[in-house]
């Protein structure tokens, strides 16, 4: 099975900061990588699919990059509503998918 | 508007069984792969099981294989998860999710979840 690793598990930043959140796959997954945002008490929301494509309705300050095994979610200028937990997920190994452990983004 | 509404959760004792349901609306249910994802209290997301649009392909996480059975009824726009021999580690919020047309493993819509608590 493909293991997804997100490190660090938490990070802190300030409003207006540029933030990058890494994710690593245990094997080559091409661009079969998605990013989700989850706020407390809410269902996850798809932000980025196919490593770098912005889901409809998601603000353009969010972007994704990477291919193969190493991926990054970038928030160009943090807004107060962006403090949440972010998960990466591989959709390469059909139909056995997996998530990273999540990175919690907190206010500094 | 896409809506996914889960039901069937509750407080159950270890060893019991239950069936979770997900009622879908706002899209052509029979065209899309569907999945269950769970989240234990205070923990991360775990993909549990998925089923193709025509039920020909199903998959399970190793942690639930032989223990959970996924199914769907396209005529009723419904997804199901049969859980047998409940274990305490099955305690979680269970989300129903929809795959996209291009990649069935991209989850573009989620329900609000149904809580399963397993305790004696």
Which chain A residues are within 8 Å of B35, Cβ to Cβ?
Answer: 97
Contact state of A46 with B106 under an 8 Å Cβ cutoff: yes
Please state, in angstroms and as integers, the Cα–Cα distance from residue B80 to each residue in A15, A40, A100, A102, B19, following that order.
42, 26, 25, 27, 7
Segment 5-44 of chain A within 8 Å of chain B by CB: 32, 34, 36, 38, 43-44
Q: Do residue B52 and residue A45 have CB atoms under 8 angstroms apart?
A: no
Q: Quick one: closest CA in A to B112, which residue? A: A43
Average pLDDT over residues A5-22: 96
Please tell me the predicted confidence (pLDDT) of residue A94. 82
Mutation site for A-interface testing, chosen from B45, B46, B56 by largest number of A Cβ within 10 Å: B45
B115 shares contact with chain A (CB less than 8 Å): no
Considering CB atoms only, which of B44, B46, B104 is closest to A94? B104
**b or e along A11-29 (b: 16 or more beta carbons within 10 Å of the residue's beta carbon)?**
eebeeeeebebbbbbeeeb
Band (pLDDT 50/70/90 cuts) for residue A108 is confident
With beta carbons under 8 A apart, name residues in chain B contacting A90: 105
Contact partners, residue B63, CB within 8 Å, separation at least 6 = B46, B48, B89
User: What are the tens digits of pLDDT across the range B5-55?
Assistant: 999 999 999 999 999 999 999 999 999 999 999 999 999 999 999 999 999
Confidence of residue B101 (pLDDT cuts 50, 70, 90): confident
- Per the rule left: phi > 0, alpha: psi between -120 and 50, beta: everything else, A14 is beta
pLDDT category of residue A95 using cuts at 50, 70 and 90: confident
pLDDT given for residue B48 in this prediction = 96
| Of A45, A96, A101, Cβ closest to residue B59 | A96
Tell me, what DSSP letter sits at residue B64? T
Contact criterion met (CB < 8 Å) for B47 and A98: yes
Chain A residue numbers touching B113 (CB-CB < 8 A): 43
Tokens 């509404």 locate to B5
Distances (CA, A) of B69 to A97, B58, B65, B110: 17, 9, 8, 20
């Amino acid at each position: 099975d493909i293991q997804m690793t997100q490190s660090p598990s938490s990070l802190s930043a300030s409003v207006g900061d540029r933030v990058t959140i890494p994710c690593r796959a245990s094997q080559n997954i091409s661009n079969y990588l998605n990013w989700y945002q989850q706020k407390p008490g809410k269902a996850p929301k798809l932000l980025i699919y196919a490593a770098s494509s912005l889901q409809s309705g998601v603000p353009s300050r969010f972007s994704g990059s990477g291919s193969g095994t190493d991926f990054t979610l970038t928030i160009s200028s943090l807004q107060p509503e962006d403090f949440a937990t972010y998960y990466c997920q591989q959709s390469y190994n059909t139909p056995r998918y997996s998530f990273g452990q999540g990175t919690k983004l907190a206010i500094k | 508007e896409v809506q996914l509404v889960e039901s069937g959760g509750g407080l159950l004792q270890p060893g019991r069984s239950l069936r979770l349901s997900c009622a879908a609306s706002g899209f052509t249910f029979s065209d899309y792969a569907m999945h269950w994802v769970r989240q234990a209290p205070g923990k991360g997301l775990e993909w549990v099981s998925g089923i193709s649009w025509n039920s020909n392909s199903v998959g399970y996480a190793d942690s639930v294989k032989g223990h959970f059975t996924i199914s769907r009824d396209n005529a009723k726009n419904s997804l199901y998860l049969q859980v047998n021999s409940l274990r305490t580690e099955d305690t979680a919020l269970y989300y129903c999710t929809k795959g996209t047309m291009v990649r069935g493993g991209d989850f573009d819509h989620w329900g609000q979840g149904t809580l399963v608590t397993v305790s004696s």
